[in-house]
Amino acid sequence: MQEREVKAKVTSGERSGIQYSVTVSWPENLQEATDAWSEEAVYSRATAAFVIDLQSFMRSEIQSDDFDEGQLQERSASWKPGTRARGKSRAQKTEDLLNQLTDEERASLLQRYLDSDD
pLDDT per residue as tens digits for the range 8-39:
999 999 999 999 999 999 999 999 999 999 99
Burial of 57 (0-12, 13-18, 19+ CB in 10 A): buried
Give the integer Cα–Cα distance in Å for 3 and 20: 16
Report whether 10 contacts 16 (CB < 8 A): yes
Q: What is the DSSP letter of 21?
A: E
pLDDT per residue as tens digits for the range 37-68:
999 999 999 999 999 999 999 998 898 888 88
Instruction: Please report the pLDDT score of residue 43 as a whole number.
Output: 97
Report whether 65 contacts 40 (CB < 8 A): no
Residues forming a β-bridge with 16:
10
The better pLDDT of the pair 4, 92 is held by: 4
pLDDT per residue as tens digits for the range 65-92:
888 898 999 989 999 988 765 666 777 7
Residue-range domain boundaries for the chain: 1-37, 38-87, 88-118
Q: Which residues contact 84 (CB under 8 A, 6 or more apart)?
A: none
